[in-house]
């Protein structure tokens, strides 16, 4: 088996992804879609589910240990204020570009024009969203231990920052505690590397199930929308992140994407930015040279609030709905769609298809009826996973791009590591 480990991990993951698609489609054609889906679900899919559980197992300890260790490594707690401001501004900026690109591609492709929505089973969704005040109050945990147990990422980030600042402020008395968290973060990162060796098998099982259950037939009636979403996401990754990495930071763009191969592959197969977080942190540290003080704080925050792919997707879906049902949109409608998509994307859970159920809030900006909303969600839901995989990959790529920028501006980027061949 030594030959297996000599192959780079990203190559093993990509081969597994391709083989999974081929296997799923072939089995679906031979056995029939329902039989193939059942077969893979009962005998193969468990490997992928186990892989996702292994990664999710690491999310809380990784955020907690790396964030505390990162704050302690900064030394001066005042640096945290500078880092946080730059991070949030950059996340909002990239989301703005995502909105513009999404609306542009939705206008050019017009995926909803002539869409056949007959016979679609409506799926009602709630139009309620938590207020901004509720979201802010939820960041402060009633019980830090409960927040850790429940996996409440924003609450964990808040408590970890406070704990890190407290350790730094305690001086000599807090030194041993700081060293403990530093060692713990190294241990968790090492476990992450072990878990990633399971990635090719997990990716194969997850993708084969998706290919078998969706099939090519499901894509035919919605192919223009899928093309618009994929091309919009690719354009956003190349243009927005390209400008940030190549023009603003003066770093090699190809090297950035190569260093992010593992997280992109895992994000694409799992469709969960939260589940991909441990892999993203490991790649940012090992391949991009982002120091712990930045990777441990910027990336967990990004997995929670930075949803560029989701904002872009919601914009295209809003235009798809308007075109399908004949709603006339003004310039202010476009502005409100962009603004609302950006706001609700911040609250999107980092789990598969969560953003689709936020669509109702965006559609409300130009008066779409609940009946039309339910029809659109019912039409999109069967193939949403195909688009969710791509937008999740863009989300984690955007997290890493912002982390790289913040790290360079804070003097926490090892450019020699960034420019070396990627450790993938």
Kindly tell me if the per-residue pLDDT of 12 is higher than 80. yes
Structurally, the chain folds into a number of domains equal to 1
Q: How far apart are CA 117 and CA 188, in angstroms?
A: 49
* Residue-level pLDDT at 352: 53
Is residue 255's pLDDT more than 90?
yes
Coarse DSSP helix, strand, coil percentages of the chain, rounded to the nearest 5 percent:
80, 0, 20
- pLDDT, residue 132, reads 58
Higher pLDDT, 382 or 347: 382
How many whole angstroms separate alpha carbon 235 and alpha carbon 89?
Answer: 21
Per-residue pLDDT at 31:
87
Give me the CATH number covering residue 413: 1.10.3860.10
Strand partners for 290: 413
Which pLDDT does position 420 carry in this prediction? 78
User: Contact at 8 Å (CB) between 327 and 365?
Assistant: no
Residue 194 lies in a domain: yes
Cβ neighbours of residue 265 under 8 Å, at least 6 residues apart?
10, 13, 14, 17, 199, 203
Binned at pLDDT 50, 70 and 90, residue 71 comes out as confident
364: in domain = yes
Structure tokens at 341: 């998509």
Is residue 424 in some structural domain?
A: no
| Residue 83 confidence class, pLDDT cut points 50, 70, 90 | confident
Domain annotation covers residue 254: yes
Closest CA to 309 of 392, 244, 399: 392
pLDDT higher than threshold 90 for residue 350:
no
Q: Is residue 338 included in any domain, yes or no? A: yes
CA distances from 136 to 141, 166, 321 (A): 11, 22, 32
Please report which confidence band the pLDDT of residue 245 belongs to, taking 50, 70 and 90 as the band edges.
very high
State whether residue 290 is helix, strand or coil: strand
DSSP string, 86-133: HHHHHHHHHHHHHHHHHHHHHHHH-TTTT---TTPPP---------HH
pLDDT confidence bin for 354, thresholds 50/70/90: low
Burial of 219 (0-12, 13-18, 19+ CB in 10 A): middle
Neighbouring residues of 414: CB distance < 8 A, sequence distance ≥ 6:
289, 290, 291
Q: Which among 197, 206, 261 has a CA at the least distance from the CA of 19?
A: 206
Average pLDDT (48-66) is 83
The length of the chain in residues reads 424
The pLDDT confidence band at residue 376, using thresholds 50, 70 and 90, is: confident
Q: Please report whether residue 81 resides in a domain.
A: yes
CB-based contact 77:169 (threshold 8 Å): yes
- Mean pLDDT, residues 234-238 taken together: 96
CA triplet 34, 32, 222: central angle to 5 degrees? 75
Q: Mind listing the pLDDT tens digit for each residue in 380-420?
A: 877 788 888 899 999 999 999 999 999 999 888 999 888 87
Encoded tokens for 224: 């223009």
pLDDT > 70? residue 226: yes
DSSP state of 288: S
75: left (phi over 0), alpha (psi -120 to 50) or beta: left
Assess whether pLDDT exceeds 60 at residue 85.
yes
Answer with the residue of higher pLDDT: 70 or 328: 328
Classify residue 274: in a domain, yes or no: yes
Mean of the per-residue pLDDT values of the chain: 83
State the DSSP code for 327: -
For 166, the domain range is 2-419
Q: Please, which residues bridge with residue 413 across strands? A: 290
Reported as a single tens digit per residue, the pLDDT across 122-159 is: 566 555 555 656 766 777 888 989 988 887 777 887 88
193 pLDDT more than 60: yes
pTM of the model: 0.77
Cβ atoms 90, 310 nearer than 8 A:
no
Mean pLDDT is lowest, of 17-21, 65-69, 225-229, 378-382, for: 378-382
């Amino acid at each position: 088996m030594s030959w297996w480990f000599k192959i780079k991990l990203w190559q093993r993951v990509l081969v597994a992804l391709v083989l999974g698609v081929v296997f799923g489609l072939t089995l679906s054609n031979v056995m029939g879609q329902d039989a193939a889906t059942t077969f893979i679900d009962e005998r193969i899919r468990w490997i992928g589910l186990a892989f996702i559980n292994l990664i999710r197992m690491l999310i809380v300890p990784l955020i907690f240990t790396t964030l505390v260790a990162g704050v302690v490594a900064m030394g001066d707690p005042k640096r945290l204020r500078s880092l946080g401001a730059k991070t949030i501004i950059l996340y909002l900026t990239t989301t703005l570009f995502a909105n513009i690109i999404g609306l542009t591609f939705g206008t050019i492709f017009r995926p909803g024009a002539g869409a056949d929505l007959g016979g679609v089973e409506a799926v009602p969704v709630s139009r309620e969203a938590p207020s901004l005040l509720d979201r802010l109050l939820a960041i402060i945990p009633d019980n830090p231990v409960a927040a850790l147990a429940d996996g409440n990422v924003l609450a964990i980030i808040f408590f970890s920052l406070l704990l890190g600042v407290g350790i730094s402020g305690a001086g000599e008395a807090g030194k041993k505690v700081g060293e403990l968290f530093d060692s713990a973060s190294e241990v968790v990162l090492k476990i992450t590397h072990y878990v990633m060796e399971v990635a090719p098998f997990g990716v194969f099982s997850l993708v084969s199930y998706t290919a078998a259950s969706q099939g090519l037939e499901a894509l035919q009636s919605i192919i223009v929308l899928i093309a618009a979403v994929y091309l919009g996401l690719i354009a956003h990754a190349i243009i927005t992140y390209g400008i940030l990495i190549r023009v603003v930071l003066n770093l090699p763009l190809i090297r950035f994407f190569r260093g992010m191969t593992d997280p992109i592959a895992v994000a694409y197969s799992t469709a969960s930015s939260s589940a991909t977080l441990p892999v993203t942190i490991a790649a940012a540290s090992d391949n991009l040279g982002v120091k712990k003080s930045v990777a441990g704080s910027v990336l967990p925050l990004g997995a929670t609030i930075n949803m560029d792919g989701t904002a872009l997707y919601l914009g295209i879906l809003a235009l798809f709905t308007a075109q399908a049902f004949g709603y006339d949109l003004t310039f202010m409608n476009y502005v409100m769609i962009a603004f609302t998509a950006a706001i609700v994307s911040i609250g999107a859970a980092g789990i598969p298809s969560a953003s689709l159920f936020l669509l109702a809030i965006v559609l409300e900006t130009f008066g779409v009826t609940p009946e039309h909303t339910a029809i659109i969600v019912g039409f999109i839901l069967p193939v949403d996973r195909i688009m969710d995989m791509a937008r999740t990959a863009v989300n984690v790529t955007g997290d890493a791009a912002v982390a790289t920028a913040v790290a360079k501006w804070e003097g926490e980027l090892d450019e020699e590591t960034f420019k070396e061949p990627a450790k993938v």
